[in-house]
C-alpha cells in the first residue's frame, strides 16, 4: 500500500502536431487535456490547515485552490535552460474545485515531440492578492528563472496560512522537474514550508495546593524588536533587539528552503495573540473580577491557550537544507500575562489580585521548517518556564490517500482488502484509490471483497489508466457505484451507503 501526502495528480497531457518550441492552447481532437486532481474529500481531515473559522482561508484548499507555474524547455533540461526560460506554459495558474472536480482555464496539452520537457512548480493556497500574504515572484510572465514566493506573516493571527509547496529537489514519483510526455499522472506532493506552533499552560506544584488562589492567563505575544505598550495589560512590552521572528521571507522553489538573500524581514511590533485565545469571564471566581482570561486548572493539568484548531504558522529561523530552527535564547522570545487572584471575603472586592508578565525564550532546536511544536508554559510562584514537544504534523494535518495497484479483477479484490486494513488502522481516512492498469476488465464482480472496516460515506476510486472495457460491476452489499460501465480511460467511484 502506498501513501501520498496532499497528493495532487495531473492527468495525461498530450499535444499533437506542434513544433519543438511551440506552445498552444488549441486541442487536436485526439489530445486529452491536462487534468488536475487533489486526493481529498469534503469530510477528509487535514485539508490545508488555516487559521480561525472567520478567516478568508479557513475552508482549506477546496476553497482557495492551488497555483501552478510551468516551464517548457524543449529538449533541454531545467538545469541548463532555467536561466533563460520564463514561465511560458503556465503562470500562477489557479486550479479551482467545482462540482467535485478540479479544473482551470485555458486548458493546456503535452508537447508531442519525444523528449520535450516541462517543469512544474506548485503551491497552495492560490494567491493573486496580498490578503494571504503570498507575493509571487516572478511578477511578470517574462521574468526568467525559477519562481520564488515572498511570504508575509498575516497581520491578524486568525488569518494565518499553512503554506505548502513543491520543490525542485523532489525525486521519484514526486518529481516535477523535466517531466516528459507520459500517460500516467504527474504527481504533486505539496510539503509544509512553515513551522507550526501551539501553546498550553499549567501550574507547577507550588500553586496547585492553594484552593483559594487562582491563576488566570490574560494575554500572550511574540516579541518584536520594538518596545511598545501592550493594549491588553498596560504593562510595558519588552523589546528583543536580536530577534529572529520574521514577518516576511522568500521561499526558494529551487531547493525548498527559505532564502537568506534577500534577507528576511524581522518583525518590529510585538505580535499580539489575544484575539485567538479563548478568553472568558471569570466572575464565577469573584463577582467583581472583570478581566477575561483562561484559568489554569488547580490540579496542575495542561490547558490550551489558543482557540480550537488554531495554530500559528511561522517563518522558520535559520533555515537551510538541513534546518536548525532556533539556535539562541534571543531568537524568538514570548511574553505571557497572568493574574494571581486570591478569594478573600473580608476584602471590599471579595478578592486580591496581582498582575504579572513573564518573558521566556522558546527552546533551541524548535521552530524548524515542516515541524509542528506544542509549547507548554509552567507557571510557578517565582517564574514561568517553557518546554516544547514535537507533534506529528503529517498525522494531524497531512492529507494522504491510501492507494494500491491492480491489473485484473482478482487483484482489485486483493487491493480492496489491503485498503480495508488501512481503514482499520486509520478510521479518519475516508478516500481510497486503486490504480487499475492492463487490458479489458469485462464484468467486474467485487461481491467477495473484504470491506468490513469501511464506514458510511467512504469512497474507493477505481482509476483506470488504460481503456478498461468495463461492461458491468457487482458490488458488496451496501455499496453503490457512480457508473457501471466504462469504455475509456477514467474512473469509477464506489461509495459505502
Residue 476: give its domain's CATH number.
Answer: 2.60.120
pLDDT surpassing 70 at residue 20: no
Of 347, 366, 395, the residue at which a domain comes to its end is 395
Of 338, 365, 395, the residue at which a domain comes to its end is 395
For residues 346 and 478, membership in a common domain is answered with no
Is the residue at 290 inside a domain?
A: yes
For residues 371 and 415, membership in a common domain is answered with no
Answer with the residue of higher pLDDT: 3 or 92. Answer: 92
For residue 206, the model assigns a pLDDT of 76
For residues 181 and 232, membership in a common domain is answered with no
Cis peptide before 348 (omega within 30 of 0): no
For residue 360, the model assigns a pLDDT of 93
Is the residue at 154 inside a domain?
A: no
Note the pLDDT tens digit of each residue in 38-63.
Answer: 432 222 222 343 333 333 333 467 67
Mean pLDDT for the stretch of residues 432-448: 87
Domain that holds residue 471: 402-497
**C-alpha to C-alpha distance for 291 and 281, rounded to whole angstroms:** 7
Of 173, 192, 211, the residue at which a domain comes to its end is 192
pLDDT surpassing 70 at residue 168: yes
Mean pLDDT for the stretch of residues 132-155: 80
For residues 465 and 369, membership in a common domain is answered with no
C-alpha distances in Å from residue 24, one per residue of 9, 16, 35, 36, 111: 22, 10, 16, 19, 9
Is the residue at 133 inside a domain?
A: no
Task: Provide the grid cell at 26.
Answer: 488549441
List b or e across 160-190, with b for residues whose CB sees 16 or more CB atoms inside 10 angstroms.
bbbbbbbbbebeeebbbbbbebeeebbbbbb
Q: 5 and 398 in contact (C-beta within 8 Å)?
A: yes
Q: Give 153's contacts (C-beta < 8 A, 6+ positions apart).
A: 133, 160, 246, 247, 248, 267, 271, 314, 315
For residues 316 and 265, membership in a common domain is answered with yes
Is the residue at 212 inside a domain?
A: yes
Is the residue at 56 inside a domain?
A: no
Q: 1 and 404 in contact (C-beta within 8 Å)?
A: yes
Taking the C-alpha atoms of 414, 418, 423 and 426 in order, what is their torsion angle to the nearest 10 degrees?
-170
For residue 216, the model assigns a pLDDT of 97
pLDDT-derived band at 440 (thresholds 50, 70, 90) equals confident
SS (H, E, C) 201-234: EEECHHHHCCCCEEEEEEEEEECCCCCCECCCCC
Q: 110 and 103 in contact (C-beta within 8 Å)?
A: no
For residues 271 and 213, membership in a common domain is answered with yes
Task: Provide the grid cell at 436.
Answer: 487499475
Mean pLDDT for the stretch of residues 383-400: 64
Is the residue at 138 inside a domain?
A: no
For residues 33 and 100, membership in a common domain is answered with yes
- Of all residues in the chain, the percent with pLDDT exceeding 90 is 46
Pairing of β 470-474 and β 442-445: parallel
Answer with the residue of higher pLDDT: 311 or 245. Answer: 245
Is the residue at 322 inside a domain?
A: yes
pLDDT-derived band at 403 (thresholds 50, 70, 90) equals confident
Q: 432 and 417 in contact (C-beta within 8 Å)?
A: no
* Helix/strand/coil for 419: helix
Q: 153 and 435 in contact (C-beta within 8 Å)?
A: no
Q: Give 257's contacts (C-beta < 8 A, 6+ positions apart).
A: 251, 319, 320, 321, 323, 369
pLDDT surpassing 90 at residue 307: yes
Of 402, 417, 473, the residue nearest 449 (C-alpha): 417
For residues 476 and 389, membership in a common domain is answered with no
For residue 237, the model assigns a pLDDT of 73
Mean pLDDT for the stretch of residues 317-331: 94
Note the pLDDT tens digit of each residue in 180-202.
Answer: 887 666 677 778 899 999 999 99
For residues 330 and 428, membership in a common domain is answered with no
For residues 374 and 423, membership in a common domain is answered with no
Task: Provide the grid cell at 390.
Answer: 514535537
Percent of the chain that is helix, strand, coil (3-state, to 5): 10, 35, 55
Task: Provide the grid cell at 105.
Answer: 482555464
pLDDT surpassing 70 at residue 264: yes
For residues 445 and 460, membership in a common domain is answered with yes
Task: Provide the grid cell at 134.
Answer: 503570498
* Helix/strand/coil for 80: helix
User: What is the number of structural domains in the chain?
Assistant: 3
Is the residue at 134 inside a domain?
A: no
CA dihedral for 48, 375, 245, 338, sign (positive or negative): positive
For residues 236 and 212, membership in a common domain is answered with yes
pLDDT-derived band at 87 (thresholds 50, 70, 90) equals very high
Amino acid at each position: 500500500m502506498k501513501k501520498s501526502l496532499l497528493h495532487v495528480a495531473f492527468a495525461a497531457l498530450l499535444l499533437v502536431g506542434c513544433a519543438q518550441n511551440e506552445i498552444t492552447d488549441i486541442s487536436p481532437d485526439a489530445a486529452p487535456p491536462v487534468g488536475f486532481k487533489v486526493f481529498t474529500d469534503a469530510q477528509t481531515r487535514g485539508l490545508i490547515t488555516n487559521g480561525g473559522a472567520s478567516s478568508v482561508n479557513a475552508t482549506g484548499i477546496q476553497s482557495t485552490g492551488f497555483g501552478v507555474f510551468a516551464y517548457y524547455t524543449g529538449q533541454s533540461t531545467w538545469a541548463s535552460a532555467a536561466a533563460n526560460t520564463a514561465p511560458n506554459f503556465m503562470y500562477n495558474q489557479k486550479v479551482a474545485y467545482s462540482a467535485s472536480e478540479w479544473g482551470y482555464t485555458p486548458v493546456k496539452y503535452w508537447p508531442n515531440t519525444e523528449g520535450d520537457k516541462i517543469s512544474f512548480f506548485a503551491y497552495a493556497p492560490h494567491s493573486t492578492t496580498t490578503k494571504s500574504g503570498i507575493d509571487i515572484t516572478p511578477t511578470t510572465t517574462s521574468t526568467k528563472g525559477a519562481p520564488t514566493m515572498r511570504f508575509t506573516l498575516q497581520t491578524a493571527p486568525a488569518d494565518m496560512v499553512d503554506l505548502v509547496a513543491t520543490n525542485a529537489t523532489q525525486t521519484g514519483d514526486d518529481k516535477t522537474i523535466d517531466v516528459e510526455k507520459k500517460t500516467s499522472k504527474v504527481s504533486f506532493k505539496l510539503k509544509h514550508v512553515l513551522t507550526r506552533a501551539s501553546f498550553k499552560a499549567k501550574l507547577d506544584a507550588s500553586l496547585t495546593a492553594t484552593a483559594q488562589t487562582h491563576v488566570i492567563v490574560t494575554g500572550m505575544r511574540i516579541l518584536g524588536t520594538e518596545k511598545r505598550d501592550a493594549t491588553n495589560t498596560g504593562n510595558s512590552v519588552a523589546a528583543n533587539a536580536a530577534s529572529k521572528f520574521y514577518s516576511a521571507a522568500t521561499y526558494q522553489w529551487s531547493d525548498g528552503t527559505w532564502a537568506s538573500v534577500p534577507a528576511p524581514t524581522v518583525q518590529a511590533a510585538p505580535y499580539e495573540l489575544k484575539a485567538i485565545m479563548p478568553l472568558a469571564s471569570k466572575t464565577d471566581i469573584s463577582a467583581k473580577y472583570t478581566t477575561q482570561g483562561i484559568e489554569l486548572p488547580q490540579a496542575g493539568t495542561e490547558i490550551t491557550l489558543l482557540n480550537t484548531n488554531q495554530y500559528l504558522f511561522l517563518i522558520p529561523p535559520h533555515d537551510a537544507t538541513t534546518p536548525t530552527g532556533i539556535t539562541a535564547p534571543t531568537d524568538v522570545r514570548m511574553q505571557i500575562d497572568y493574574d494571581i487572584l486570591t478569594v478573600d471575603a473580608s476584602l471590599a472586592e471579595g478578592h486580591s489580585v496581582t498582575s504579572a508578565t513573564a518573558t521566556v525564550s522558546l527552546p533551541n532546536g524548535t521552530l524548524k521548517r515542516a515541524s509542528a511544536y506544542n509549547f507548554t508554559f509552567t507557571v510557578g510562584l517565582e517564574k514561568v518556564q517553557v518546554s516544547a514537544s514535537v507533534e506529528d504534523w503529517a498525522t494531524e494535518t497531512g492529507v494522504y490517500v491510501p492507494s494500491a495497484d491492480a491489473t485484473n479483477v482478482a487483484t482489485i479484490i486483493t487491493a480492496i482488502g489491503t485498503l480495508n486494513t488501512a481503514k482499520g488502522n486509520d478510521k479518519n481516512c475516508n478516500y481510497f484509490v486503486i490504480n487499475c492498469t492492463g487490458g479489458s476488465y469485462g464484468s467486474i464482480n467485487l461481491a467477495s471483497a473484504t470491506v468490513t472496516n469501511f464506514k458510511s460515506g467512504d469512497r474507493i476510486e477505481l482509476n483506470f489508466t488504460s481503456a478498461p472495457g468495463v461492461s458491468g460491476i457487482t458490488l458488496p452489499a451496501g455499496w453503490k457505484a457512480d457508473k457501471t460501465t466504462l469504455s475509456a480511460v477514467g474512473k469509477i467511484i464506489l461509495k459505502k451507503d
